[in-house]
Structure 1
Amino acid sequence: MQNTQLIPLLPDLASFILIVEEGSFTAAAKKLDVTPSALSKLVTRLEKALSIKLFERSTRTLLITRSGQKVYDQAVIMLNAAKQAVELSLSDHSEIQGTLTIAAPEAFLNSVVQPHVLPFLNLYPKVKLQLRVADGEIDLLRDNIDVAFMLTDTPDERLILKELGKTNLVLCASPDYIEQRGMPEHPSELVQHDCLYLAENDHDHIWRFIKGDEVHSVSVTGRYAVNHSQMRLTGVKNGLGIGILHDFVIADALEQGDVVPVLSDWTLRSNYHGFIAMQYAQTRYMPARLRVFIDYVCEHLIQRLA
């Protein structure tokens, strides 16, 4: 498609994004101050120009098609690039300002990112940070996120990746608990102990261990399960059992002797281990506030997490 053919479609694609995000013609029409029928005609025009069907429509539902989802994903990239171009044209390049939206898993956000928030904001007083806890799947393009931190072995291939370090899951318990209940020597012995797990899904109580060629799964039980890392750590410190936590969460507690490692010669496997990835969208027009944040993270976190 030539640029002369593409340019008239750009406003329609922007409206299409809003229809998808609002979930109906009526809701999107209110935000655009137009009629729902006008948006319906717009979609029909766009479908004809693209030679694909964007929605499955009925009197009650509006469902995006598989082809429509692909168009939406690319249109969001287009809209974000337009936003960045506008920001560049309006900004004073001598002054770093604006809003950054940062997403990360709760444990990482609280233990690693949060201590650096105030120093960063003090360094750049006209930058605003919006922090989002995101323990599940993160979609930067859909959720309008500038930077996402992920604990994974499978980063999003559509995004730029900076590897900050590795993270492992660690079992730990309080010294008092171990003194009273004993130190397990093999994963199979965990069935005799109280264990603290996430309780996010039906499989969180099944812990999988690897040592060399040996693989072992254990179904654990306990009096206390919580999907908040600091609450789980507090439970471990207070002798409620053996807990599963990230290494960066328990580093200080280990150093201070509040907890001791358990089965440290085994490796725990889960969805939340692997390398610590910082990801952001690829763009030719990166706002200065995003560049300084990325540089700040690389300077202050890579050495700590490596």
Structure 2
Amino acid sequence: METNKLIALMPDLAVFIVVVDEGSYTAAAKKLNVTPSALSKQISRLETALSVKLLERTTRKLMISESGKRIYTQCTTMFDAAKKAIEISHSEPIVPAGMITVAAPKAFLSIVLQPLVTPFLTQYPDIQLKLKARDGEIDILKEGIDVVFRLTEKPSEDLVLKQIGKVDLMLCASPDYLALRGMPSTPLDLVDHDCLYLGETSTDNIWEFEQQQTRHRVTVSGRYAVNHSQMRLNGVKDNLGIGIFPDFVIKDALQQGSVIRVLPTWTIRGNYHGDIALQYAPTKFMPARLRAFIDYITANFNL
């Protein structure tokens, strides 16, 4: 018998067990809170599907046929296995275990998440963690990703959102570069400076600035473009120009004085600005491993 047909028969097989155990359609109907005629139709349907007579009704009682007895034995074995499966799901402790696949922007992954990996895996020895460095848009269902981190002002509306922080974009340059070329006083001054940008698209050298009601879109240029944040920061430290970075990338360099913030009173709009969004697909029954990861990140995230 085909699997889909077998699955369709499961409710009728379960009803057959109850009718036999109760000894009559009336008693079985009362137990299942349905009408006797509805149960009779289910048994008739089952007999037709199996091509065998299961029950004989006499004037006094309901009799089970020899074929019905053999089928009843197999049905009760199936029914007992189903009850056992439910008992296991209710009684056994749910231990976080299995694979979790996480995607995040490259710089965020290496600087912010990486320090949390070893403590998390130490605390949960039955979990395996697969990290993917991914910038840009991600279809987590298509790519088999459990959790995605986005740095954005517009989180995906189709996914569950947990906001765990905020990130700002900042400009910086080395002290030597600024001593030689001067400190820009407005975003428009950047056209006279060497600027380091990603070089990924034809528009990522167009930087957007906002200060109260004033907005500027500035097309910058420079001799060095690279879509790796640490390499771009090294270029800034080597006096190659002014770079734009998420704040967590340049925090240590600012504290050490190897770079100086440029135009600090201006807000920079663009990719990797806004909420730090932890997102995952909606689910009614979240796996214990995923819950453990989300709770751990939420409790230990510090940026």
CA distance in 2, matches of 1:191, 1:153: 27
Match of 1:47 in 2: none
Residue correspondences, number: 219
Following superposition of structure 1 onto structure 2, how do residues 230-249 of structure 1 map, counting pairs within 5 Å? 230-249=230-249
CA distance in 2, matches of 1:116, 1:233: 23
Residues 1:214 and 2:211 aligned together? no
* Cα distance per residue 1:53-110 (max 9 Å; x no partner): xxxxxxxxxxxxxxxxxxxxxxxxxxxxxxxx9xx96xx7454321100001112111
One-letter identity of the residue aligned with 1:257: G
Q: Secondary structure at the match of 1:145?
A: coil
CA distance in 1, matches of 2:264, 2:119: 35
Match of 1:74 in 2: none
Match of 1:182 in 2: 182
Residues 1:224 and 2:220 aligned together? no
One-letter identity of the residue aligned with 2:285: Y
Match of 2:50 in 1: none
Following superposition of structure 1 onto structure 2, how do residues 196-215 of structure 1 map, counting pairs within 5 Å? 196-215=196-215
* Cα distance per residue 1:111-162 (max 9 Å; x no partner): 1111111111121122111111121111111111110000112212221110
Indicate conservation of the 8 Å contact 2:94/2:288, yes or no. Answer: no
Residues 1:163 and 2:163 aligned together? yes
Match of 1:269 in 2: 269
CA distance in 2, matches of 1:246, 1:153: 13
* Cα distance per residue 1:19-67 (max 9 Å; x no partner): xxxxxxxxxxxxxxxxxxxxxxxxxxxxxxxxxxxxxxxxxxxxxxxxx
One-letter identity of the residue aligned with 2:130: Q
Residues 1:252 and 2:252 aligned together? yes
CA distance in 1, matches of 2:106, 2:93: 34
Match of 1:137 in 2: 137
TM-score (norm 1): 0.68
Q: Secondary structure at the match of 2:110?
A: helix
CA distance in 2, matches of 1:185, 1:261: 12
Measured after TM superposition, the shift of residue 206 of structure 1 is: 0.9
Match of 2:103 in 1: 103
CA distance in 2, matches of 1:217, 1:159: 32
* Cα distance per residue 1:1-30 (max 9 Å; x no partner): xxx99x78xxxxxxxxxxxxxxxxxxxxxx
Following superposition of structure 1 onto structure 2, how do residues 112-123 of structure 1 map, counting pairs within 5 Å? 112-123=112-123
- Identity of paired residues, percent? 58
One-letter identity of the residue aligned with 1:230: Q
Measured after TM superposition, the shift of residue 272 of structure 1 is: 2.5
One-letter identity of the residue aligned with 2:208: R
Match of 1:44 in 2: none
RMSD between superposed Cα atoms in Å: 2.0
CA distance in 2, matches of 1:127, 1:192: 52
CA distance in 1, matches of 2:219, 2:283: 46
CA distance in 2, matches of 1:126, 1:174: 46
Larger Rg: 2
CA distance in 2, matches of 1:124, 1:217: 48
CA distance in 2, matches of 1:128, 1:238: 39
TM-score (norm 2): 0.68
Indicate conservation of the 8 Å contact 2:187/2:218, yes or no. Answer: yes
- Deviating runs (4+, > 6 A) in structure 1? none
CA distance in 2, matches of 1:117, 1:231: 23
CA distance in 1, matches of 2:182, 2:146: 47
Residues 1:284 and 2:251 aligned together? no
